[in-house]
Amino acid sequence: MFLRRKKLDLPTPEEALPGRDSAMPVSGRHTVLGTPLTGPWPAGHQVAIFGMGCFWGAERLFWKIPGVYSTSVGYAGGITPNPTYEETCTGLTGHTEAVQVVFDPSVVSYQQLLKVFWENHDPTQGMRQGNDIGTQYRSAVYATTDEQLAEALASRDAFAPVVKDAGYGEITAEIAKAGPFYYAEDYHQQYLSDAKNPNGYCNHGPNGLSCPIGVAKSTSS
């Protein structure tokens, strides 16, 4: 029982795994979009980071949005530098599975990305998403600018009454300024693309709630 409870607690710096100095090697190109996976990014583009549970399906939601230049999956919000997937799954790195979204704000706004985030998972489940249980599945928004942080907090406040009226609990999504984003192993990148796993499973999709900001531009998965 102690181990079960501990799995749902974030580690302290003393408990966290040591990690490593070297970054995870990944492909230079996005499997679907053909754009760079690790940069450099075009002038004027911005970076957003979201955690929605398993990062496979979450990434697919974002790469389909017009105005999104590149996406990648990785680990964010934790302590351990350059963790592996297996280390992250122990709960001893502090990271959640995350999607990094590079977008052109002249085509798609950060608010529109937030709308896709809120409407395609359950942000009230704490350290889990559906049957996926653990700290690595927690809901999160990591803002890369002060403006993003303000918009993310405002979007949560706008969505909270909708969630409550639908009978859900309190929103537990973590919203904070972004720390380092560590790329996941190459086989995780664009995992649900036709080139890798066209029949792959993900549990992301509309939760039936409408977040009252922006207008989502995603297509159905």
Residues annotated as part of the active site: 54
Asked if 66 and 199 count as a contact pair (C-beta separation under 8 A), the reply is no
Q: Report d(CA 115, CA 68) in Å as an integer.
A: 14
Secondary structure of 113-170 as H, E, C letters: HHHHHHHCCCCCCCCEECCEECHHHCEEEEECCHHHHHHHHHHHHHHHHHHHHCCCCC
Alpha-helix runs per DSSP H in the chain: 2-7, 55-63, 85-89, 110-119, 146-165
Q: Report d(CA 216, CA 32) in Å as an integer.
A: 20
Query: In 10 A of CB 156, how many CB atoms?
Result: 18
SS3 198: coil
The verdict on whether omega for the bond into residue 81 sits within 30 degrees of 0, i.e. cis, is no
